[in-house]
Structure 1
Amino acid sequence: MGFWDVSPFGNDSAADFAWELDEATAEARIEMVGDALERAAGADDLGLFDAPRAVAAAALVAAQYPGGPSIPSTYGPSTPMPQFPGYLRRLAIEALDRVAAPSSWLVEFWEEASEVAAWRRTITDLLKALDPPQVEVLFDL
């Protein structure tokens, strides 16, 4: 599998996932994104294709929230995504936490490629869109 950049769709597995999404119905796209996130969130050992697909799936969910990424049509899906159900937001956060864990092969890969800082920024940006920092207001002035 090839990687060409740290973006969510900057690898062969995610680009293939985008193509598969383009070929699916809107209902099937929701299920495919959910399945990719569930596999990553619940896995003890992420497979070679599961981790990049989970990052891509999380990016698609995050794109529907303020501050979410723009999905490039070059490698991302060209078909508009349906509105994802709210539960996928929490699942995307869990999947990204698992993918970015120190034991993840994807972290090791980006460390070896000397791009781990840039890749972690990508993951952090997705997490910020999915779970923005909360501002607590004690008094309304």
Structure 2
Amino acid sequence: MGTWGIGPFENDMAADFAYTLDEAALGEREDLVRATLARTIQTQDYLESPEGADTVAAAALIAAQCPGGEPIRTSFAPDEALPAFADALRPLAAKALDRVVAKKSELAELWDETPDGPKWRHSISRLRSVLAP
């Protein structure tokens, strides 16, 4: 996994997710974000790292549109315009983030093995607090 920071788009998988969003028609982008979150929530077994990274990126895009959300300022985020996400995506994103940091999550396990694990978990917690205040 190519990761260079704790930010939601500071890894190869999230950058690929951004590219997928850029390649999709504007009207399909919200559906892609929703499908990413739903897949994560529905995963009963082990959640693989790529799915977790995509989920964090999707949640960050939604949080950026919320009051108190931080804008995404990186060249690895989507370049194309994003729709105004439906408010109903906020609790879905929060629930998906809960799954990413839970047991049987490869992304959480990988971060927990690093010195930056607590910082990463704190960044996820901040995202979640914006999504579900």
TM-score, with length taken from structure 2:
0.93
User: Is the 8 Å Cα contact of residues 64 and 72 (structure 2) preserved in structure 1?
Assistant: yes
Q: What is the aligned partner in structure 2 of residue 61 from structure 1? A: 62
Q: What is the aligned partner in structure 2 of residue 106 from structure 1? A: 107
Runs of 5+ consecutive residues of structure 2 not aligned to the other structure: none
Q: What is the aligned partner in structure 2 of residue 10 from structure 1? A: 10
SS in 1 for 2:49: coil
| Overall identity of the aligned pairs, in % | 44
Q: How does 1:105-124 map to 2 (within 5 A)?
A: 105-124=106-125
Question: How many angstroms apart in 1 are the aligned matches of 2:12 and 2:74?
Answer: 15
Provide Cα deviations, 1:27-66, integer angstroms capped at 9, x if missing partner: 1101110111011111122123111000000001111101
Aligned-residue CA RMSD (Å)? 1.2
Counterpart amino acid of residue 77 in structure 2: G
**How many residues are aligned here?**
132
Counterpart amino acid of residue 86 in structure 1: D
Question: How many angstroms apart in 1 are the aligned matches of 2:123 and 2:79?
Answer: 21
Question: How many angstroms apart in 1 are the aligned matches of 2:12 and 2:73?
Answer: 14
Runs of 5+ consecutive residues of structure 1 not aligned to the other structure: 133-141
TM-score, with length taken from structure 1:
0.88
Q: How does 1:9-88 map to 2 (within 5 A)?
A: 9-44=9-44, 45-88=46-89
The structure with more helix, counted as a fraction of residues = 2
Q: What is the aligned partner in structure 2 of residue 90 from structure 1? A: 91
Q: Larger Rg: 1 or 2?
A: 1
Counterpart amino acid of residue 87 in structure 2: G
SS in 2 for 1:49: helix
User: Is the 8 Å Cα contact of residues 62 and 69 (structure 1) preserved in structure 2?
Assistant: yes
Provide Cα deviations, 1:13-33, integer angstroms capped at 9, x if missing partner: 100010111111111101110
User: Is the 8 Å Cα contact of residues 67 and 128 (structure 1) preserved in structure 2?
Assistant: no
